[in-house]
Amino acid sequence: MKRFSTGSSAPPFTRRDFVKAAAAAALLSRTAWARPSASNRITLGVIGWGMMGPANTKAFLEQADCQVVAACDIHTAHLQAAVDTVNAKYGNTACKAYHDYRELLARDDIDAIMIAVPDHWHAVIATEAAARKKDIYGEKPLAKTVAEQQAIVKAVQKHNVIWQTGSWQRSVPNFHKAAEIVRNGLIGTVTHVEVGLPGGHHDFPGTVPALMQRLATLPDKIASPADIVPGSAAWDLAVTPPPAELDYETWIGPSKMEPYIDVRVYQNWRWNSNTGGGQLLDWIGHHGDIAHWGLGFDLSGPSEIEGHGQFPAANAVWNTATKYDIECTYRKEVTGYAGDVHLTIAGGSGAINMGTKWIGTEGWVWVDRGGFDASNPDWAKGDSLSEELRKVKLIESTEHRRNFLDSVKSRKPTITPVEVAHHSTLPGHLGLISMLVGRKLHWDVKQEKILNDPQASELLSRPYRAPYKLA
Ligand SMILES: NC(=O)c1ccc[n+]([C@@H]2O[C@H](COP(=O)([O-])OP(=O)(O)OC[C@H]3O[C@@H](n4cnc5c(N)ncnc54)[C@H](O)[C@@H]3O)[C@@H](O)[C@H]2O)c1
């Protein structure tokens, strides 16, 4: 299998490849889903086989009207695992393997794709997939920066493709019920919302102990990758050649080229700002998304954002915020509410509980994964509110991937369309920028601009490494 036996010595994607792909994408068009095949199944390509790619794909494999026909990853072992998983499910060898996602997207027999690559790659792949008229199941947060998110929204709208975001909490009864309680006015007018997220860093793949062992003989005590900075003996030991299985040059993609350090690549890319946004951006598309859903702010945003955080050294291996507190004000002139709504996002301080809590003039409701509590104990009973209380009914979905496939067929919006993903994550992106510049931001919700602050405005986007660009 030459195509995916390419290791780190593989030539990275070139500028000419990118220009060619963008031009080809512009020529394609598809306005409605209509499979000519006898099986009438939605054909799906999956891109990214790390933590979330397999979870999403396994859910798609359970759906009889969907067939996974292609998989892509730039790590040979991950790609092999993807193909093996799909083929084992179908009992054949039909799933095609791709090292280069553009070859997968170029197939016109693929209706839809699932993208579960690190955040710094979202926008490049998503905008090209939209230009190629693929319906897209894309992971949260929508992208690494606000400008990239805006580009994805534009591409999805322009090419009229279906988008589902991996903010799957919307497809879980507890979250749905909590959001409906708020939307039906059962807690009165909401004045304050608490969005509790994790703090610190978490060694997802468990690769840190091996590094710490290598550093144990050094005179300076190193407790975490957050203590390792360039120019130190620890840094010199942490930097290694990339493994042969990984095309690291492509993995870095549009981000700044940095030496390979394994504890900031697989899954732990979240803790380095070159590739991820820390716990804040990892979680805002979950509990922040649910907060907006309950408030009816799916297409709205805060006018004022003020964040304070604690960060390791800016050049440390893990450099994202370990503690943060962000205050957002949603102005009544923008939202149409009777008064301003204050939303607090906090992580790492223990000041507020994990999950989403809405506090209103007549009660409150709190929800988290596996947790639910409310000022009225009756609301805790059952999976959904009693019918007579449900004057406002939010869209219902029992399985997030199923909801995407239904929308691919009906051409109606999913439960978490692209515009929602964009707005749900804005408090996180803007909160991070406020922390970085050290002052309150004023956000024009309609124009989507930071007012009177050129330094903060610059952080809405990021430079791209050549030859990468958005389609
Ligand atoms: N919805 C959720 O609950 C949830 C949970 C975890 C992760 N996520 C999201 O899923 C995405 C992936 O996270 P993860 O934890 O699975 O990351 P990961 O590091 O475990 O896996 C990413 C995979 O993508 C591959 N990859 C990287 N660049 C690629 C490219 N250009 N082309 C093809 N493959 C490429 C990597 O080799 C790796 O196998 C992130 O956006 C993350 O925020 C969502």
Tens of pLDDT, residue by residue over 86-105, are 999 999 999 999 999 999 99
Flag whether pLDDT at 459 surpasses 90. yes
The single-letter code of the amino acid at 112 is A
How far is residue 173's CA from residue 188's CA, in Å, rounded to a whole number? 22
**Does residue 177 sit in the same domain as residue 225?**
no
Of 117, 202, 247, 255, the residue with max ligand 1 atoms within 8 A of its CB, to mutate for a pocket test, comes to 117
Q: Residue 32: its pLDDT value, please? A: 53
- The answer as to whether 413 is a domain residue is no
Average pLDDT over residues 342-366: 96
Q: Residue 30: its pLDDT value, please? A: 46
Percent residues over pLDDT 90 in the chain: 90
User: Which residues span the domain enclosing 54?
Assistant: 2-168
**Does residue 159 sit in the same domain as residue 184?**
no
Compute the distance from residue 274 Cα to the ligand 1 centre, in Å.
15
CATH number of residue 350's parent domain: 3.30.360.10
- The answer as to whether 320 is a domain residue is yes
**Does residue 124 sit in the same domain as residue 227?**
no
The single-letter DSSP state of residue 405 is H
**Does residue 162 sit in the same domain as residue 178?**
no
- The answer as to whether 465 is a domain residue is no
- The answer as to whether 445 is a domain residue is yes
Of 6, 8, 46, 51, the residue with max ligand 1 atoms within 8 A of its CB, to mutate for a pocket test, comes to 51
Q: 196 - beta bridge partners?
A: 346, 355
**Does residue 13 sit in the same domain as residue 158?**
yes
Compute the distance from residue 73 Cα to the ligand 1 centre, in Å.
10
Q: Show the CA angle centred on residue 404, arms to residues 400 and 407, nearest 5°.
A: 135
Last residue of a domain, one of 266, 286, 301: 266
Q: Whose CA is nearest to atom 25 of ligand 1?
A: 48
- Where does the pLDDT of residue 301 fall: very low under 50, low under 70, confident under 90, or very high at 90 and above? very high
**Does residue 80 sit in the same domain as residue 224?**
no
- The answer as to whether 294 is a domain residue is yes
The reported pTM is 0.93
- Where does the pLDDT of residue 7 fall: very low under 50, low under 70, confident under 90, or very high at 90 and above? very low
Q: Whose CA is nearest to atom 9 of ligand 1?
A: 139
Using N-to-C axis directions, what is the helix angle for 76-90 and 52-61, rounded to 10°? 10
Q: For the chain, give the mean pLDDT.
A: 93
Average pLDDT over residues 302-309: 98
- Cβ–Cβ under 8 Å, residues 289 and 416: yes
- Where does the pLDDT of residue 150 fall: very low under 50, low under 70, confident under 90, or very high at 90 and above? very high
Instruction: Give the three-state DSSP class for 197.
Output: strand
**Does residue 139 sit in the same domain as residue 36?**
yes
**Does residue 175 sit in the same domain as residue 294?**
yes
- Cβ–Cβ under 8 Å, residues 365 and 374: yes
How far is residue 460's CA from residue 289's CA, in Å, rounded to a whole number? 20
Give residues (CB < 6 A) around ligand 1: 47-53, 72-75, 78, 101, 116-119, 121, 139-140, 166, 168, 250-251, 253, 266-267, 269, 282
The single-letter code of the amino acid at 178 is A
- Cβ–Cβ under 8 Å, residues 177 and 186: no
- Cβ–Cβ under 8 Å, residues 356 and 368: yes
Residue 141, preceding bond cis, omega within 30 degrees?
A: yes
Compute the distance from residue 307 Cα to the ligand 1 centre, in Å.
27
The DSSP bridge pattern shows strands 441-444 and 304-310 to be antiparallel
CATH number of residue 149's parent domain: 3.40.50.720
Give the count of domains, the chain. 3
- The answer as to whether 197 is a domain residue is yes
Compute the distance from residue 156 Cα to the ligand 1 centre, in Å.
21
Last residue of a domain, one of 168, 189, 223: 168
Task: Report CA Rg, the chain.
Answer: 22
Query: Residues 373-380: contacts with CB within 8 Å, 24+ apart?
Result: 374/178, 374/181, 374/187, 375/187, 376/186, 379/177, 379/181, 379/186
Q: Identify the CA nearest to 148 among candidates 115, 176, 124.
A: 124
**Does residue 64 sit in the same domain as residue 150?**
yes
Q: What share of the chain is helix, strand, coil (3-state, %, to 5)?
A: 40, 15, 45
Instruction: Give the three-state DSSP class for 267.
Output: coil
Compute the distance from residue 126 Cα to the ligand 1 centre, in Å.
13
**Does residue 213 sit in the same domain as residue 95?**
no
| Three-state DSSP string of 303-325 | CEEEEEEECCCCCCCCCCCCEEE
Average pLDDT over residues 192-221: 96
Per the listing, tokens 């707005």 go with: 423
How far is residue 166's CA from residue 136's CA, in Å, rounded to a whole number? 10
- Cβ–Cβ under 8 Å, residues 426 and 160: no
**Does residue 326 sit in the same domain as residue 379?**
yes
| 58-91 pLDDT, tens digit each | 999 999 999 999 999 999 999 999 999 999 999 9
- The answer as to whether 271 is a domain residue is no
Token pair of 84, please? Answer: 């093996």
- The answer as to whether 471 is a domain residue is no
Per the listing, tokens 């004023």 go with: 442
Last residue of a domain, one of 148, 168, 188: 168
Q: How many CB atoms lie within 10 A of CB 39?
A: 10
**Does residue 110 sit in the same domain as residue 182?**
no
Atom of ligand 1 nearest to the CA of 124: 31
Atom of ligand 1 nearest to the CA of 49: 39
How far is residue 47's CA from residue 13's CA, in Å, rounded to a whole number? 16
| 212-240 pLDDT, tens digit each | 999 999 998 999 999 999 999 999 999 99
The single-letter DSSP state of residue 287 is I
